[in-house]
Chains A and B, each alone.
Chain A
Amino acid sequence: MTGLRLSIRSALFYWRTHLSVLAGIILAGAVLVGAMLVGDSVRYSLMKSALLRLGNVHYALNTQGRFFRQDLAERLEKEAKTLVAPALLLRGIAIRQENTDEKSRQVNNIQVIGVDRRFWGLSGNSVVTFAEDEIAVNAKLAAELCLKTGDEISIRIGKPSLLSRDAPLSSRKGDDTVRGTFSIAKIVSDGELGRFSLTANQIVPCNVFVNLSWLQKNVFLEDKVDLLLAAGKEDLTVEKLNGVIKKVWRIEDIGLILRDFEGRGLFQLESERIFMDPAITRAALNIEKPVGTLTYLVNSISKEDRDGSRRTPYSFITALAPSADRALGPVPPDMTDDEIILNRWLADCLSARTGETIAVSYYELTPSNKFIEKSRSFKVRHILEMSDIADEKDLGPKFPGLTDADRCTEWDIGMPLEKDKVEDKANEAYWKAYRATPKAFVTLKAGQEMWSNRFGNLTSVRFPVARCGKELIVETLRQRINPAETGLSFAPVREAALKAAGEAMDFGQLFLGMSFFLIVAGLMLTGLLFAFGIQQRSEEMGILLAVGYRPGHVRHLLMQESCLLAVVGSIAGAFLGTLYTRALIWGLGNYWQGAVANSAIQYHAEPVTVIKGAVMSFLCAMFSLVIAVRKQSVRPARELLTVDFSQSYEPAGSVPGKGRLLGMLSLAGVAIALGIIGYSAMTGMHNAVETFFMAGTLFLIAFLGLSREVLVRLDQMCRGLSVTVLGLRNAGRRRGRSLTVTGLLACGCFLVFAVSSMQEDIGADAVKRSSGTGGFALFGESSFPIQMDLNSVEGRKKVKLEREQDLKNVEIVSLKVRDGDDASCLNLNRAQSPRLIGVDPQEFVKRKAFMAPDNREQNWKLLAEQLPDGVVPGLAGDSNTAMWGLKKKVGREKGDTLTYRDERGELFKVKLVGSLPMRLSVFQGSILIPAGSFTAKYPSENGYRMFLFDVPWGTERNVMELLAGKLGKFGVNISTTVERLKEFYSVESTYMAMFLVLGGLGLLLGSAGMGIVVLRNILERRNELALFKAVGYSDANVRRVVLTEHWLILAMGLMTGVVSSLAAMWPSFHAPGVRLPYMTMALFISGIAVFQLLWIISSVRIAMRQSMISALRNE
């Protein structure tokens, strides 16, 4: 016989007792392991999703709206010796015409990807081939439009432009889309890159794959792409790949053209984008004796004199750097910035002579795309004959829609043009004779002061032939321009995707948190049941001590036994945990889809996690068992052998000092909690979460401490004797048990009620400007940018909305969008580079929208701050975005910064100076930056793609229907702001629903614990009940004694839970949309009460059904 053998024997002998203990350990272990495995499964699913969307794509060069030559891919592939696929990634709309008499079905905001054979090579699967009139769609789009191979659909594609449509003199036509009808050649599966996307999001996009050359031809971007995808290869890094770009790139790749005017003695560097990027300007102006030029169309050139005013409308003026080399331009070195050179035609038109003053009025483009007319006066330096500047006619920039128009009246530019001035006959005659020949010349400095804009401050650079050869210029430019600064830079997208998935919300922790109470309840019950078992064996322990065992030996034996139980329980729990995980994943797929944003989660278990979970549950079980063993094994042998613990009674105040201290600490806890709540109420804290947890937890602990005091002092408190008092005093007999059950019930109630009270009615305060809707009724996002101002008559006319009466009182706030990762709760991945929204804070300040009622934070003011080192101030879309989506700090001083790459490839920082003051807003998942900074960093992001509609409440449905119809061709998705908030809130409310289920299970377990204690108490005291019967108590009287005792425990548990949750939630009841969960509370409380009543009655019946006589005769 060894100690271990004795322990095993004991474990087997007391198997009935241990079975319930084992059940507790298995339950806690299963919940713990299950929760951790949910984390594994979500992580695995996100990783899988990330790899599916990228296939073998490791690096991507994505210029997002800037275009470069496709053959760069071939050069890169040759040099880097890895597959490089070019692609054109545009936004579009997919339309399926059902039948002639039926409405068509439309899916907005799809990705239209122009690809060739190389793209499919990146999937590692078969090559998808299709003709020019065919397309392939991914499974998601096929499902949404019910498509199958051979079906026909129409695709409307946004037609990009090399020169941003926001740029001055750029065309701003209303409809910049192209539509084509195609037959579906293939439904591309997930394994064939059907889910291709570059954003870190598990939500599958709707993809259409079209023939690259067809797409290029139809959007007038022949041989141009905006995306290069490179396959991974051993020893290939993003640095190496970007190094290869430097080696093989050509200036043509980025749209630079060096025009040869050798006969005139100059080369002119031009850009297909008209305005030159700063990186190009810097490099070009460092080459020998260059002359920078900036040509602009001014509104008018006029002269005031005694005879009145003379003017000519809409004229080109070229600003040139002064140069002694006449071949480079007519501006001499000594010309000052307040001088102007006129051509003969203009001088005659204005009757202007040298020395006279003329005025030039022109439009300045504001960051919010408005044109402001400005004027500047110049002194005429001299007049050039038309023959002297004949060469300038074809040296000017080629503005599409302007310089290629035959007549002035055919001009198509974004600037507002006055009809009568455009029709000016003299000007028309000039256009016919001299086209875009500048009517005047100013110094480059003066020109840049007037017409510099975010797109650039030069339209060309002229080089003298005499000083440098063409090859030298090209090579020098190649050497001096960093291609990355023009957007040609690869990013390690696969690494970023895996990082985003790896840093995704830890569902393991989330479920552990949600199951925490369930685990604790399981462990507390385990400890309780084990303690019961040990108490039953106190005689055995006493005998062991009596025969010479030291207390340590006895403890060791019991610990061995506990260990055996914990090992078996943990292993079984881990196994059961895998089943529990499957159940949770099933729940996530069927009932709690909102929690994972409707993503499919696959079961996956890492062996390490299972082992880790089993070890953790073993340790937790041991902890609860050790406490039970320790308490019992410290008693002396005599006591263990003689005292019946079921009859023991610890008088009040047996440890007076300790009791008083506990009582005082409990009261102090209540006082501090009240203080926190009071402070919260006085300071009007908006976010009550921290307050709630601090105050609530304090209340709970303090009330439990006070409950202990009540139990200790019951016999002092319950003076006199009655049947009720008898019951009340009984509650204090087994304080440990009573407190365990009280604690379980209190914690369960606290968590369940508190969580259910967090359920908000999101739409409750939607009309308020301070709410997450900003008081706007509708929210819209378009697939294609809308150029026009939808508030203006002109703008509305272009989309045929000018006569709509319903829109009379509707104002629209248009916002610019730079696509990025979604940092909202709908994205399970950690957003690496969140979407940017360019906003004009004044639009919101004037409406007091998205501002706290007292505007304490002054959030919009923060966007106006000038930060050092070019850092851009940014506001998180709401506090949840900062806290959960980004996990970043916000604040003027301590706000975190996010690094972005602007469209020219330069890195810049956005500092989170604050967030919108509400927990949830329509901007969730995005970062708001000032429109000025936005357009400076992303000048090519033309037009607006996000809209807030300030609609009179009550008419929003009509307006929504109207707008959806009229703006349908822009692929606008319009929803009410409340619906948008509800979509975000669905994640949170699903978490709460899950928590309620898991917390409810915990509460049920706590309630079952109470039941076990009741049964145990009653069975232990059967003789006492029998005595009551013997001395003449009726069954009803006996029940009354038992009920009083257990109702007290129940009431203390429920009261503690309810009061602490209510008190702690008090501040949040004042928050908008938060409602007290009367129904849930009533249901839970009455459910538990009824359950306990039935349990007590049944227990009494069970106990009394057995022979009373034997109870009286045997202890």
Chain B
Amino acid sequence: MTTPLLVLEKISKKYLSAGGGLEVLKDIDLQVMNGQSVAIVGPSGSGKSTLLNIVGTLDLPTSGKVMFDGQDILNLNEKEQADIRNRKIGFVFQLHHLLPQCTVLENVLVPVLVNEHAANAEQRARDLLEQVGLSERLDYRPGQLSGGERQRVAVVRAMINGPKLLVADEPTGSLDIAGADKLADLLVKMNKQHGLTLIVVTHSLLLAGRMDMVYELSGGRLVSRK
């Protein structure tokens, strides 16, 4: 945990609106070490997901610099950014976004399809699904799963290419308490057992409390709470 995996330097994000510009992120600086788990909390609309999407190269900051794994990822082209997302960053969203036409196993393998370096992906998918308790559901379709099960599939899908960073945007938002607990356990397990760096945006203080670091985003500023 000595080298930083992710370094954000003076990240700002401004949206143009009818009443002038709206700056949701103001000169944010953040360092996340390898294997660290970080929670970002804050009120709705404070810019948590925006910050997460900038980290995941799904969005661009108005200004600032994002260093990931020693690379300035904002200067990469579209293809290189896609490669980073595919192999080094895993995403989990509030909604699972599983493909209804694919089975559980196939959904997990979707990211592998564009990863030229993937080897033994299917076995790895099976192992991961077994780890999350879904080995009996490999041929099920998303429509045949519960909400918690779908979200676990989404986590496994995020893990399939062995990313260094897992970013989760309100992963328990659509789950009941038991489901949320199980998912939190899973994320912590991934962090601890696989040495995966984890950034979680959440409203759940319970989930946030299980992370190494907790930051609060409010008024565009990121303040450490833990």
Closest to A1032 in B: B86
Give chain B residues whose Cβ lies under 8 Å from the Cβ of A884. Answer: none
Is there contact, CB below 8 Å, between B111 and A1031?
A: yes
Within 8 A of A (CB), among B148-194: 157-158, 161, 169
Closest to B93 in A: A1112
A1113 within 8 A of B: yes
Give chain A residues whose Cβ lies under 8 Å from the Cβ of B99. Answer: 726, 1024
Interface centre among B83, B84, B111, B157 (most CB of A within 10 A): B111
A1035 within 8 A of B: yes
Contact partner of A1032 among B59, B95, B114, B169, CB < 8 A?
Answer: B114
Closest to A1111 in B: B97
Known: A733-B100, A1109-B58. 13 other contacts (CB 8 A): A648-B100, A648-B143, A649-B100, A649-B101, A651-B141, A1029-B58, A1030-B93, A1031-B110, A1032-B161, A1034-B79, A1109-B59, A1112-B95, A1113-B95
Is there contact, CB below 8 Å, between A1112 and B143?
A: no
Within 8 A of A (CB), among B49-72: 49-50, 53, 56, 58-59
Residues 214-226 of chain B, each 1 if its beta carbon lies under 8 Å from chain A, else 0:
0000000000000
Contact partner of B114 among A729, A733, A1033, CB < 8 A?
Answer: A1033
Nearest CB of A to B49, in Å:
7
Give chain B residues whose Cβ lies under 8 Å from the Cβ of A1026. Answer: 97
Is there contact, CB below 8 Å, between A1034 and B110?
A: no
Is there contact, CB below 8 Å, between B106 and A1030?
A: no
Looking at chain B, what size class is its interface with the partner chain?
35 or more
Name the 3 nearest CB pairs between A and B, nearest first.
A1032-B86, A649-B100, A1031-B111
In the complex with contacts A715-B101, A1023-B97, A1112-B93, A1034-B82 CB distance below 8 A: yes
A170 within 8 A of B: no
B94 within 8 A of A: yes
Is there contact, CB below 8 Å, between B102 and A721?
A: yes
Give chain A residues whose Cβ lies under 8 Å from the Cβ of B126. Answer: none
Is there contact, CB below 8 Å, between B109 and A721?
A: yes
- Determine the distance from Cα of A574 to Cα of B77 in the docked complex, in whole angstroms: 56
- Determine the distance from Cα of A320 to Cα of B86 in the docked complex, in whole angstroms: 120
Residues 1009-1040 of chain A, each 1 if its beta carbon lies under 8 Å from chain B, else 0:
00000000000000110111111111101000
Closest to A1040 in B: B114
Residues 129-146 of chain B, each 1 if its beta carbon lies under 8 Å from chain A, else 0:
000000000000101000
- Determine the distance from Cα of A715 to Cα of B56 in the docked complex, in whole angstroms: 32
Give chain A residues whose Cβ lies under 8 Å from the Cβ of B169. Answer: 1112-1113
Is there contact, CB below 8 Å, between B97 and A1112?
A: yes
Nearest CB of B to A840, in Å:
75
Give chain B residues whose Cβ lies under 8 Å from the Cβ of A144. Answer: none
Is there contact, CB below 8 Å, between B101 and A1032?
A: no
Within 8 A of B (CB), among A223-254: none
- Determine the distance from Cα of A404 to Cα of B93 in the docked complex, in whole angstroms: 119
Closest to B89 in A: A1032
Q: Is the interface of A mostly helix, strand, loop or mixed?
A: helix
Is there contact, CB below 8 Å, between B100 and A1032?
A: no
Is there contact, CB below 8 Å, between A1113 and B94?
A: yes
Closest to A1107 in B: B59
- Determine the distance from Cα of A625 to Cα of B19 in the docked complex, in whole angstroms: 44
Contact partner of A723 among B82, B94, B113, CB < 8 A?
Answer: B113
Is there contact, CB below 8 Å, between A649 and B143?
A: yes
Give chain A residues whose Cβ lies under 8 Å from the Cβ of B59. Answer: 1109
Is there contact, CB below 8 Å, between B100 and A1031?
A: no
What are 7 A-B pairs with beta-carbon distances under 8 A?
A649-B101, A721-B110, A733-B100, A1031-B114, A1032-B115, A1033-B86, A1033-B114
- Determine the distance from Cα of A1023 to Cα of B53 in the docked complex, in whole angstroms: 14
Nearest CB of B to A1041, in Å:
9
In the complex with contacts A721-B109, A1023-B95, A1033-B82 CB distance below 8 A: yes
- Determine the distance from Cα of A1030 to Cα of B58 in the docked complex, in whole angstroms: 7
Give chain A residues whose Cβ lies under 8 Å from the Cβ of B53. Answer: 1109
Closest to A1110 in B: B49
- Determine the distance from Cα of A730 to Cα of B111 in the docked complex, in whole angstroms: 17
In the complex with contacts A647-B100, A649-B101, A721-B102, A1034-B111 CB distance below 8 A: no
Is there contact, CB below 8 Å, between A726 and B141?
A: no
Within 8 A of B (CB), among A1061-1115: 1108-1109, 1112-1113, 1115
- Determine the distance from Cα of A162 to Cα of B106 in the docked complex, in whole angstroms: 99
- Determine the distance from Cα of A732 to Cα of B141 in the docked complex, in whole angstroms: 15
Closest to B157 in A: A1031
Contact partner of A1113 among B49, B101, B109, CB < 8 A?
Answer: B49
Closest to A1037 in B: B114
A722 within 8 A of B: yes
- Determine the distance from Cα of A722 to Cα of B111 in the docked complex, in whole angstroms: 10
How many of A's residues come within 8 Å of B, CB to CB? Answer: 31
Is there contact, CB below 8 Å, between B141 and A649?
A: yes
Is there contact, CB below 8 Å, between A1109 and B49?
A: yes
Is there contact, CB below 8 Å, between A1024 and B87?
A: no
Is there contact, CB below 8 Å, between B102 and A1032?
A: no
Is there contact, CB below 8 Å, between A1034 and B101?
A: no
Contact partner of A729 among B49, B50, B102, B109, CB < 8 A?
Answer: B102
- Determine the distance from Cα of A726 to Cα of B94 in the docked complex, in whole angstroms: 23
Is there contact, CB below 8 Å, between B49 and A1115?
A: no
- Determine the distance from Cα of A647 to Cα of B109 in the docked complex, in whole angstroms: 19
Is there contact, CB below 8 Å, between A723 and B114?
A: yes
- Determine the distance from Cα of A722 to Cα of B115 in the docked complex, in whole angstroms: 11
Give chain B residues whose Cβ lies under 8 Å from the Cβ of A1027. Answer: 93, 97
Give chain B residues whose Cβ lies under 8 Å from the Cβ of A1033. Answer: 82, 86, 114
- Determine the distance from Cα of A649 to Cα of B141 in the docked complex, in whole angstroms: 9
Is there contact, CB below 8 Å, between A1034 and B78?
A: yes
Is there contact, CB below 8 Å, between A1030 and B94?
A: no
Give chain B residues whose Cβ lies under 8 Å from the Cβ of A649. Answer: 100-101, 141, 143
Residues 722-753 of chain A, each 1 if its beta carbon lies under 8 Å from chain B, else 0:
11001001101100000000000000000000
- Determine the distance from Cα of A715 to Cα of B85 in the docked complex, in whole angstroms: 28
In the complex with contacts A649-B141, A651-B141, A1109-B58, A730-B101 CB distance below 8 A: yes
Closest to B110 in A: A1031
Nearest CB of B to A726, in Å:
7
Closest to B161 in A: A1032
- Determine the distance from Cα of A726 to Cα of B102 in the docked complex, in whole angstroms: 8
- Determine the distance from Cα of A1023 to Cα of B158 in the docked complex, in whole angstroms: 16
Give chain A residues whose Cβ lies under 8 Å from the Cβ of B50. Answer: 1109
- Determine the distance from Cα of A1033 to Cα of B85 in the docked complex, in whole angstroms: 8
Within 8 A of A (CB), among B98-120: 99-102, 106, 109-111, 113-115
Is there contact, CB below 8 Å, between B114 and A721?
A: no
Is there contact, CB below 8 Å, between B111 and A1032?
A: yes
Give chain A residues whose Cβ lies under 8 Å from the Cβ of B113. Answer: 721-723, 726
Give chain A residues whose Cβ lies under 8 Å from the Cβ of B141. Answer: 649, 651
- Determine the distance from Cα of A1023 to Cα of B98 in the docked complex, in whole angstroms: 10
Contact partner of B101 among A722, A732, A1031, A1108, CB < 8 A?
Answer: A732
- Determine the distance from Cα of A406 to Cα of B9 in the docked complex, in whole angstroms: 134
Give chain A residues whose Cβ lies under 8 Å from the Cβ of B49. Answer: 1109, 1113
Interface centre among A729, A1032, A1115 (most CB of B within 10 A): A1032
Closest to A722 in B: B113
Is there contact, CB below 8 Å, between A1031 and B85?
A: yes
Interface centre among B49, B87, B93, B114 (most CB of A within 10 A): B114
In the complex with contacts A726-B110, A1027-B97, A1113-B94, A1035-B115 CB distance below 8 A: no
Residues 922-960 of chain A, each 1 if its beta carbon lies under 8 Å from chain B, else 0:
000000000000000000000000000000000000000
Nearest CB of A to B56, in Å:
7
Give chain B residues whose Cβ lies under 8 Å from the Cβ of A1029. Answer: 58, 82, 85
Residues 1-14 of chain B, each 1 if its beta carbon lies under 8 Å from chain A, else 0:
00000000000000
Give chain B residues whose Cβ lies under 8 Å from the Cβ of A723. Answer: 113-114
Give chain A residues whose Cβ lies under 8 Å from the Cβ of B100. Answer: 647-649, 733
Closest to A1021 in B: B99
Closest to A723 in B: B113
Nearest CB of B to A889, in Å:
57
In the complex with contacts A721-B109, A723-B113, A723-B114, A1032-B97 CB distance below 8 A: no
Contact partner of B56 among A730, A733, A1030, CB < 8 A?
Answer: A1030
